Structure 1
Amino acid sequence: MYQQMIFVNLAVNDVDASKKFFTELGYTINPQFSTDDCACVVISDTIVAMMLSKQRYADFTKKEIADPTTTSEVLLCLSAESRAKVDELVDKALAAGGTGTEEAMDQGFMYGRSFDDLDGHTWEVMWMDPAAVQG
């Protein structure tokens, strides 16, 4: 069966700093699809984040590039396998220079936290009790 992938393209100020940030979170960089102006961050087998210099990003759009420190262009949400994994990933992001954005959201069956990366893109990390999803 074909597994559809998602490639999230984000404009960044410093490609090398983004590479360092996301590797500190435990992700890998695919060198085959990375250049001086683009980092291919492998999040999973089906999720890839392309960190593009603003100049490279502009090659793909005629629209003004949003400043994620002052506007919200997208909310990126990643699932986690447990509450502890939510905390682990967000804590790594904060230690690597990210910024906490909200208090933890805890509804018992669902738990999440979020952070802004070095460029201000907001990443949410969520865990949901599988039994609650099935029920």
Structure 2
Amino acid sequence: MSHPLYLNLPVTDVARAKRFVEALGLAVDTTFSNEQATCVRLNDGVMLMLLARPLFQSFTKKDVGDPMTSTQHFITLSFDSREAVDDFHQRAVDAGATTEHDAEDSGFMYQRGFNDPEGHQWGLFWMDASQMPPAA
């Protein structure tokens, strides 16, 4: 049984969040988007919902944290090459993101990270699992 995943994130400015993901080259699904939400189709089974904070709050009784000051998740995307990681990272920075950490190259894995304009942390990586060192 397939269970598509909808990852919901609170944002203070839906229009800015939409411009940011479009600058990354990500596909906005207009069927599920309006002035209160932007749906980003990451692949056939994973959608990223960028919800205005009041709408996000309506789905939970818990306090909504501030991603500028705390972290509860990382959005991590896998890429086909180191160059693709660097390209996506550069597009993010050009669109207003800040670098979370410099590139880390472990040989079998290459990764970078950034914070989007709303403060959400994103991780980007390429990995050649055949080159992973054996487990200790």
Band the TM-score falls in, shorter-chain normalisation? over 0.9
Please give the alpha-carbon distance, in whole angstroms, between the structure 2 residues aligned to 1:36 and 1:54.
Answer: 12
Aligned ranges 1:83-122 → 2 under 5 Å: 83-122=82-121
Aligned counterpart, 1:131: 130
- Structure 1: 4+ residue segments shifted above 3 A: none
Aligned length: 133
Please give the alpha-carbon distance, in whole angstroms, between the structure 2 residues aligned to 1:69 and 1:17.
Answer: 16
Aligned counterpart, 1:69: 68
Q: Alignment RMSD, CA only?
A: 1.3
Please give the alpha-carbon distance, in whole angstroms, between the structure 1 residues aligned to 2:83 and 2:46.
Answer: 21
Aligned counterpart, 1:5: 4
SS in 1 for 2:107: coil
Please give the alpha-carbon distance, in whole angstroms, between the structure 2 residues aligned to 1:47 and 1:126.
Answer: 17
Q: How far 1:76 sits from its partner (Å)? A: 1.3
Aligned counterpart, 2:28: 29
Paired amino acid for 2:86:
D
Paired amino acid for 2:56:
Y
Aligned counterpart, 2:56: 57
TM-score (norm 1): 0.93
Aligned counterpart, 1:44: 43
Please give the alpha-carbon distance, in whole angstroms, between the structure 1 residues aligned to 2:101 and 2:35.
Answer: 33
Please give the alpha-carbon distance, in whole angstroms, between the structure 2 residues aligned to 1:64 and 1:9.
Answer: 15
TM-score (norm 2): 0.93
Offset from partner CA, 1:37-94 (integer Å, 9 cap, x none): 0000111112210000001001111111110110012111110111011001111000
Please give the alpha-carbon distance, in whole angstroms, between the structure 2 residues aligned to 1:108 and 1:98.
Answer: 26
Paired amino acid for 1:91:
Q
Paired amino acid for 2:70:
T
Please give the alpha-carbon distance, in whole angstroms, between the structure 1 residues aligned to 2:81 and 2:4.
Answer: 23
Please give the alpha-carbon distance, in whole angstroms, between the structure 2 residues aligned to 1:27 and 1:127.
Answer: 18
Question: Unpaired runs of 5+ in structure 1?
Answer: none
